[in-house]
Structure 1
Amino acid sequence: FDDDARLRTSTYARSASYVDGQWVLSGIRQTEVAEHGVVARQIEQASWNSVLRPELLSIVAVKPEILSVWSLVRYIEYLDSNNLETRLYQHAMWAKIFYPAATAVMVFLAVPLVLSSSSRSVSMGRRVMLGFLIGLAFHVINTASGNLGAVVDLSPLASAAAPTLLALLVGMVMLRRTA
């Protein structure tokens, strides 16, 4: 691209391999838009220095929810260094970090269901169904929080932490009512 953001050169490579920190392109077809017209060239092989590494390419093809925390951190750093949007990947990273806490909070939510004074009068099936509904509600709120955070420009940390903190608060209220 030139200074006016107009496309000046387009390069297509039949294949590419990453060797010693740089890309080696083969079967290159390069098209250049010049003042007097379009010039096409065929180049057998050339090297290309880029910040794009093979491990980053494998990340792009995968949903952020599937990546490990460390892969997300590396990809967020890459996106950030290229001034690209990172919110989706930041939220996925924070959601993964909060996942163990969310699991502990869900176990904590089960305690008031077991310890409630009316537990003898409520059948096991009802308690299991209530636990299922609480878990389902948590999942829906957790998913909606990430989407809502992206829409209203909320911090990825806040949108990932909010459902777990809300569930903890609900669990504390339920536990206080049973005591």
Structure 2
Amino acid sequence: MRDFLHSEISQIEGVPNVPDNPDVAIKAGTALCEKVLEPIQQKFGRISIRSAYRSSAVNARGAENKNQYNCSRNESNFAGHIWDIPDKDGHVGAMACIVVNSFLPYFERTKNWESLAWWIHDNVPEYASMYFFPKLCAFNIGWHQKTVKSISSYIPPKGCLTKPGMTNYAGDHSTEYAAMLRELGV
């Protein structure tokens, strides 16, 4: 839980990063761990948490200074990085920004972030969304009570890789990640 609660914004700005509704945060965080993060870690080994839970106060401070912290407004982060407040439809969720450490050398050599995204899409059925970033191939990944699996990226090719309704959404994508799995030996 310490990794999830650590926040650079909190440390720099002096804003406590403590849940207003701890029971909701624990419920959402437990689901994120058990249903999303642990299956990834079981397959690929240790993952690193870059950012996870944000209190409303911490997220609001991060949203005030987008040039430095890149946080979306609170309403966009309810049931996302703000684990303890349900979204506008009353659903609970949780999000973390992670790095899959064993994948990083493969990504640095190939720039192929899609292979990891497709593996997760095919093998972690309860992920809600993924959004990939260029630095360390870190990505936001979430769990949500109302799962709508989607994959997007700021890494080329930028934009939406898949979401419901796209022709590439369903089916087996194992050809997209077979070489990556062989190279990583997993």
TM-score of Structure 1 vs Structure 2, range by shorter chain: under 0.3
Relative to the length of structure 1, the TM-score reads: 0.27
State the structure with more CA Rg: 1
Does 1 or 2 have the higher relative contact order (CA < 8 Å, sep 6+)? 2
Relative to the length of structure 2, the TM-score reads: 0.26
Query: Hey, which of these two has a bigger chunk of helix by percent?
Result: 1
